[in-house]
Amino acid sequence: MKAIRTIAVCGAGTMGSGIAQLTAQAGFNTIQFDLSPAALKKSRLGIVAQLNKLVEKAKITTEEREQVLSRIRFSTELADCRADVIIEAIIEKKEVKIKLFNDLKVFNEPDVVFATNTSSISIDAIAEGMDHPHKLVGMHFFNPAPVMKLVEVIRGSHTDPSLVELVFHLAQQLGKVPVICKDAPGFIVNRVARHYYLEVMAMVEKGLITAEQADASMEAAGFKMGPFKLMDLIGLDINYSVSNIVWEALGSPERLTPSPLQQAKLQEGKLGKKTGEGFYKY
């Protein structure tokens, strides 16, 4: 299996920041790329804050914190993304992801591995726009990436089987529990979870319960986080987009119709934690 030393993480938002922290903590040289200097700055501050918490809890030493930080290079230059594996966590738009992968090919060795963290776009749909469709594999982390154990490893119909094996092994090296699945709408968790989110939003919309009551009950029932807090953490734009894509890909069944309540929040620009307000204020 190809040795992995350097990982480029494209996108420094909610997911990219957590993934870069994770790869650096696991000992990989990490390049964090984003077009936005502000996003990179925010990501760096977020990683420092997370590492400081680990120091406070005596999980890592101050020397280890400095070593982790020294392994991450933050860049707005695409040409800096020269790596063994490239994990893409940019905006959830197929054409933008395709362009990024095709542009990155120029700066990388022919055996570079392209992994996408897309929540909802079909791996085949991205691969079919790429110059080398067999080089793409899905590597779907969950939010927050440094904490959540699951990584869905998605095999598209064009994916070279050796990439599935490599990314499975990489996820284990990152301390994760990888699960392989075929390319299908919503993969595993996001498909199953649609019902969870949509049902509870319908209950709030009908005035049966409040978001606070829903969260309190689900948390007391054993969920780590209630559905509304979770949607705010994920980002309502991301969650809504997943709902739409899964709904359309399954033939628009009524039971999976995206929530008007969530759509209204988007129209107000309330995207969750990242904008300071979603179902809750931050």
Ligand X SMILES: NC(=O)c1ccc[n+]([C@@H]2O[C@H](COP(=O)([O-])OP(=O)(O)OC[C@H]3O[C@@H](n4cnc5c(N)ncnc54)[C@H](O)[C@@H]3O)[C@@H](O)[C@H]2O)c1
Catalog residues that contact ligand X under the rule CB under 6 A.
10-16, 33-36, 39, 89-92, 96, 100, 117-119, 141-143, 234-235, 238, 274
Cβ-closest position to ligand X: 13
**Mode of pairing for the β-strands spanning 177-182 and 150-155:** parallel
Q: Which is nearer to ligand X, 13 or 60 (CB)?
A: 13
Whole-number minimum distance, CB 124 to ligand X, in Å? 16
The residues, ordered by sequence, that sit 6+ positions from 232 with a Cβ below 8 Å of its Cβ are: 272, 273, 278, 279, 280, 282
Instruction: Give me the sheet containing 136-141, strands edge to edge.
Output: 72-75, 29-33, 6-10, 85-88, 113-116, 136-141, 150-155, 177-182
Whole-number minimum distance, CB 190 to ligand X, in Å? 8
CA-CA-CA-CA torsion sign (98, 104, 108, 112): negative
The alpha carbon of 200 is separated from its chain's Cα centroid by a whole number of angstroms, namely 23
Q: Which is nearer to ligand X, 11 or 227 (CB)?
A: 11
Q: Which is nearer to ligand X, 15 or 130 (CB)?
A: 15
Catalytic residues: 119, 140, 152, 190
Q: Which is nearer to ligand X, 4 or 89 (CB)?
A: 89
Q: Which is nearer to ligand X, 65 or 187 (CB)?
A: 187
Whole-number minimum distance, CB 182 to ligand X, in Å? 18
Whole-number minimum distance, CB 17 to ligand X, in Å? 7
Angle at 169 between CA 167 and CA 174, to 5 degrees: 90
Whole-number minimum distance, CB 58 to ligand X, in Å? 29
Dihedral, 163, 168, 171, 173 alpha carbons, nearest 10: -100
What is the rounded CA–CA span in Å between residue 121 and residue 144?
Answer: 20
Count the Cβ atoms, other than its own, within 10 Å of residue 16.
25
